[in-house]
Amino acid sequence: MTTRPLSWRCRERVLSLGDRPLIMGILNVTPDSFSDGGRDASPDAAIARGLALARDGADIVDVGGESTRPGAEPVGAAEEIRRIAPVVEALAAAFRGAAEAPLISIDTRKAAVAETALAAGASIVNDVTALTGDPAMPDMARRYEAGVVLMHMRGEPATMQKNPAYDNAAHDVADTLAARVRTLCAAGFDAATLAVDPGIGFGKTLEHNLHILARLDLLLDLGRPVVIGLSRKSFLGKLTGREVNERLAGSLAALVLAAMGGAHVLRVHDVRESVDAARVVAAWRTKTEKEAT
C-alpha cells in the first residue's frame, strides 16, 4: 500500500510526508524508562545521545522527561523541566542552521514543560493525552503554532493495562482521534499542525495492537499524518519471547508493516537500523506506484 502524501506544519517548518516514512528517534531523559533504564538520564549523556540520533538519520528527535510505561508514576512539572531543558537547549543550538537538521519534539502532557521546550527551540508537542491532560496545553500549543501529535490512551500510565476493553479497537481508536481533531479545529487549531497516533500499548492488549496495526487505513482516512510507535513494545515480547533489549528484529518487522500500511512517521529507539528499513519501504512504494500507472 502506498501512503497518502500530506504535509505537517511544525512552527516554521513544513514536513512533506510522502513515499519515505520519517523516523522519530526516542530520547528518554528519565531514570525509569522501560527500554533503557536511565542510560541517558544525565544532561551530558542525553545531549550526546540526541546528537548521535541526528547522525544516524533521525528526522525528529523526541525528548521526554517522564516515563509513560505501564505502571509508571507521574513526575512533577519542575522535575520534568529540570531534566529536559538543558537537553533541548543544547540540541536546538547544535541543529540551528544545519542543513537537514532534525526537528525537536517534546514528549510531555504538561503545558509548562511543553512551553519550556518550545521556547528553547522545539517544534513539536507529542502528548500521550491528545492535549486533554492539562487544560492549559491546547492554548499554549496553538499559540506557538507547534506541530502536535495527538495520541490515543485509555486511562493513566499507572493503570492503563488493567483489563483494557473495546467494542472494536481499530474503529474505536480512529473514532476517538477523529473527534479530537474536530474539537481542536473548532477551537481554532490549524488542521495542518495536527498528527494522530493510535497509542500502541497504551491501554491495549496484544490483540488490540495487532488489530490497529492491520487497520491503519482507518487512521489514514482522517486525512492527517499517522505517527506510530512500535519499537521494543511489550506486545513484541509476547510474540517473540524476547526481552526488551532483544526486540530489534521484531521492532523492524513491525515498523515495515506499519510503513507498508501507510504510516508517515515511525517512533523508534534504533534509528540507524530503522532508517535503513524505511529506505527499503520507500523504494518499494515508488516501484509499486510506477507499476500501477
Position 39 scores a pLDDT of: 63
Mean pLDDT along residues 164-173: 93
Q: Is there a domain that residue 81 lies in?
A: yes
Model confidence pLDDT, tens digit, residues 16-65: 998 789 999 999 998 755 555 556 668 899 999 999 999 999 999 999 99
Q: Is there a domain that residue 228 lies in?
A: yes
Position 292 scores a pLDDT of: 75
Provide the strand spans (E) within the chain: 6-10, 13-17, 22-28, 60-64, 103-107, 124-127, 147-151, 194-197, 227-229, 265-268
Q: At 3, is the pLDDT very low, low, confident or very high (cuts 50, 70, 90)? A: low
Model confidence pLDDT, tens digit, residues 52-104: 999 999 999 999 999 877 766 788 999 999 999 999 999 999 999 887 899 99
Position 160 scores a pLDDT of: 65
Of 69, 109, 233, 247, the catalytic one is 233
Q: Is there a domain that residue 143 lies in?
A: yes
Position 36 scores a pLDDT of: 56
Q: Is there a domain that residue 1 lies in?
A: no
Mean pLDDT along residues 198-205: 94
Q: Does the structure show a pLDDT above 90 at 149? A: yes
Measured CA to CA, the distance from residue 159 to residue 71 in angstroms comes to 6
Could you tell me the CA-to-CA distances from 199 to 32, 175, 227 in Å, in that order? 20, 14, 9
Q: Is there a domain that residue 211 lies in?
A: yes
Of 20, 224, 247, 267, the catalytic one is 267
Output the nine-digit C-alpha cell for 186: 473548532
Q: Is 83 a catalytic residue?
A: no
State the alpha helices, DSSP H only, in 111-264.
Answer: 111-120, 137-144, 169-186, 206-214, 217-220, 234-240, 248-260
Model confidence pLDDT, tens digit, residues 205-243: 999 999 999 999 999 999 999 999 999 999 999 999 999
- What total of structural domains would you count in the chain? 1
CATH number of the domain enclosing 47: 3.20.20.20
Mean pLDDT (the chain, rounded): 92
Q: Is there a domain that residue 8 lies in?
A: no
Output the nine-digit C-alpha cell for 108: 510531555
Q: Is 267 a catalytic residue?
A: yes
Position 158 scores a pLDDT of: 66
The percent of residues above 90 in pLDDT, for the chain, comes to 81
Q: Is there a domain that residue 91 lies in?
A: yes
From the DSSP assignment, how many helices (H) and strands (E) are in the chain? 10, 10
Whole domain around residue 273: which residue ranges?
16-292
Mean pLDDT along residues 167-188: 97
